[in-house]
Amino acid sequence: MTSVAIIGGTGLAALHGLEITHREIMQTPFGEPSGILTRGRYCGHDVMFLPRHGAGHNIPPHKVNYRANIWVLKEAGVKNVIAVNAVGGIHADMSPGCLVIPDQIIDYTWSRTNTFFEDSLSTVVHVDFTEPYCEVVRQHLIKGARKADLALIDQATYGATQGPRLETAAEVDRLERDGCDIVGMTGMPEAVLARELDLCYASVSLVVNRAAGRGTGAITMEEIEQNLNSGMQQVRRLLEYTIPLI
Ligand code: HPA
């Protein structure tokens, strides 16, 4: 049975090298997921893949149906989820091209449905989220990076912002004061929804630009795309070495 799923983010709308065995359009009580759930063999292992922003990368971060995406993975029998996220680097060490495995998250998003537990409850549910990422999958990723000889930062706080615009310099200053090292738009509510359904979920965050006010001048899409193209090769290599460990 497939126990590992990859949620592809910006720059990873498809998993090259995945030998597809099954493609499934799934419905959920929460509407449609972002795309077709693809099952297949990747480096000799059963894997599922779901593109967070759709196959054509046309669903912006604030419009992603996070509940439907997590629900289909649970329905399909997934136990472990590796989420791939493109982020901006706030901390000076988090420069473009860096791979980061965050261990904490602060949620600045708003008006996104962030729970499965809101209707027809027999009792109010509050999941524990002290450690928002699954330490087991995090450690597999860290070990995978070592085996693949990839540099990686294994602790960081991810600030999840609403988007789709990038932040102002003052907003990034505030994120830094709060303790955020990286900033992205898709980390929440995905992580908490995975926790609510008891999925073991961790993120591979690829730094694709210096956060607003941390580089020289404006952030350009050209810069982001360049760093995405080169960085996603590292992400693929990390997945190749990590998936066999799970
Ligand atoms: N901010 C928010 N999300 C992002 C960024 C950023 O600078 N870069 C990539 N995703």
Nearest CA to ligand 1 atom 9: 87
Residue 169 CB coordination number (10 Å) = 11
CA of 111 to the centre of ligand 1 (A): 19
Closest-CA residue, ligand 1 atom 6, reads 88
Mean pLDDT in residue range 26-32: 93
211 within ligand 1 shell (Cβ under 6 A): yes
d(Cα 139, Cα 202) in Å, to the nearest integer? 10
Higher pLDDT among residues 219 and 123, named by residue: 219
Residue 24 has pLDDT above 90, yes or no: no
Cα separation values, 205 from 17, 125, 158, 241, Å:
21, 29, 9, 16
End-to-end CA distance of the chain: 13
Which amino acid residue places its CA nearest to atom 10 of ligand 1? 87
pTM (predicted TM-score): 0.96
Is a pLDDT exceeding 60 seen at residue 65? yes
195 Cβ contact partners less than 8 Å away, ≥ 6 residues apart? 127, 128, 129, 132, 201
Q: Is the CB of 88 under 6 A from ligand 1?
A: yes
The CB of 184 under 6 Å from ligand 1? The reply is yes
Extract the tokens encoding 84: 């791939």
- Domains of the chain in start order, with CATH, are 4-245 (3.40.50.1580)
For residue 1, pLDDT beyond 60: no
12-21, 54-63, 144-153: which is most confident: 144-153
Distance 237 CA to ligand 1 centre (A): 22
Q: pLDDT tier at 17 (50, 70, 90 boundaries)?
A: confident
Compute, in angstroms, the gap from residue 166 CA to the centroid of ligand 1.
6
Which of 166, 205, 207 gets mutated to test ligand 1 (max ligand atoms within 8 A of its CB)?
A: 166
> Which residues share a beta bridge with 204?
84
Instruction: Quote the pLDDT of residue 26.
Output: 87
Q: Does residue 182's CB lie within 6 angstroms of at least one atom of ligand 1? A: no
**Tens digits of residue pLDDT in 203-245:** 999 999 999 999 999 999 999 999 999 999 999 999 999 999 9
Question: Which residue is it, tokens 């999941």?
Answer: 127
Closest ligand 1 atom to the C-alpha of 219?
7
211 DSSP 8-state letter: P
Q: How many CB atoms lie within 10 A of CB 141?
A: 25
Q: Is the pLDDT of residue 2 over 70?
A: no
